[in-house]
Amino acid sequence: MNYKKRPPQPDRNQLLVQAHSAMAPTILIAGATGNTGRPLTEILPSLLQTSNLSDHRIIALTRSLTSPAAKDLAKLPGVEVIEQNWVEITADWLKEHQVVRAFIASHNEPNQFAEESTFLFNALDAGVKYVVRISTTAANVRPDCKAYYPRSHWAIENLLSQPEFAALQWTSLQPNVFMNFWFASAVDLIKQYRQTGQQSPLRLMVAKDTPVGIIDASEVGVFAAHLLAQSDVSAHNQAKYVLNGPEDITGQQIVDLVEQHIGTKVDEVIYQDTSAIDLLWEYKYKALCQSKNVIGTTKYAVETAWEGKCSTSTTSKEFLQFAGPKIRPADALNALLE
């Protein structure tokens, strides 16, 4: 019987090298199942197909592969869903997965600067070419903002603007106020009234008569997808785009919408109410040993909205040109009640 000599088999490391060398350049979506990341991930594959980036694949990060949102994203063509905490991503991980572009919507907790700047440093070290990040209310992103977390965003943008980071192109999106946040107490009252016929006081952070250009988070994600799909992003490098919805809304107009839904007058309205911030520390951050003094500064973040600095008049023209907003406040409230 003749036996043929078996050729030597490559070891595991050789196989990994071969696999990664054949891997396509990658666009990384951190927080893909979130309120901005999910619509971004859903629309990006089709945008890539009509650009010269059609050979790029998409990695969508999630906290749980078993979540319904993660399972839905895994069905999209060209999207690989991975269970991975973005704060633990290293430069080697980014190189291994051949990441060339990335999206990140960081948390706003006190350690934001440390964690996001570490991610961005690793992106620079790994040769990532472009990052789109979510910032916060444009009027607050300054070094002297009373609220702590806009100062962190200012620090991140200042970091990225330094010569040492020149190889990493970036765009910062500054949505003024998300609709689901601005409508939270209104949604609670409507649901309570429908279930019990009773009303609690309607506590609104918004001022009674000051217009604010609140935006649906999904439209922020859509705009981010358009940026990530651009063949040449140099025109958007170091840009800070202010994002608003298609129309302004005041506190009184929110009350009017609530009354339309419940079919009667709202018994009591408290405008410019920030009492929820105290509850946030008491029921979340206290157990985490976070500073009450630091967390308490969050209530100052809404002052610029009260001062009229967050209206649709501040919207960046590039946002309107690429993916102008379409979701009106009344439509968003209807969706939140479904």
- Same domain, yes or no, for 156 and 194? no
pLDDT (0 to 100) of residue 19 = 46
Assigned domain for 287 exists = yes
Convert the pLDDT of each residue in 194-248 to its tens digit: 999 999 999 999 999 999 999 999 999 999 999 999 999 999 999 999 999 999 9
Output the pLDDT for position 45: 95
For residue 291, report the phi and psi dihedrals to the nearest 5 degrees.
-70, 125
CA separation for the pair 178, 245 (Å, rounded): 9
Give a yes or no: residue 25 inside a domain. yes
Residue 73 C-beta-side C-alpha neighbours within 13 Å: 30
**Residues 6 or more apart in contact with residue 210 via CB below 8 angstroms:** 250, 251, 305, 306, 307, 308
- Cβ atoms of 200 and 273 closer than 8 Å: no
For the chain, the domain total comes to 2
Q: What is the mean pLDDT of the chain?
A: 92
The rounded distance, in Å, linking the Cα atoms of 335 and 71 is 22
150-199 pLDDT, tens per residue?
999 999 999 999 999 999 999 999 999 999 999 999 999 999 999 999 99
In the chain, which residue ranges form alpha helices assigned H by DSSP?
12-21, 37-49, 68-74, 91-96, 112-126, 148-160, 179-182, 184-196, 217-228, 251-262, 275-280, 292-296, 303-306, 317-323, 329-336
| Angstrom distances, CA of residue 293 to CA of 21, 106, 254, 281 | 50, 22, 31, 10
Give this prediction's pTM: 0.90
Answer whether 29's CB lies under 8 Å from 38's CB.
no
Question: Do 253 and 241 belong together in one domain?
Answer: no
- Please say whether the beta carbons of 51 and 230 come within 8 A: yes
For residues 81 and 186, state if they share a domain: no
pLDDT of residue 205: 94
pLDDT at 22 over 80: no
Q: CB neighbours (10 Å) of residue 290?
A: 15
Q: What are phi and psi of 149, to 5 degrees?
A: -75, -30
> Is residue 335 one of the residues assigned to a domain?
no
Pair 164, 281 in one domain? no
Q: Structural domain of residue 278, as residue ranges?
A: 182-207+249-305
- In this structure, the answer to whether residues 109 and 202 fall within a common structural domain is no
Q: What is the DSSP letter of 32?
A: T
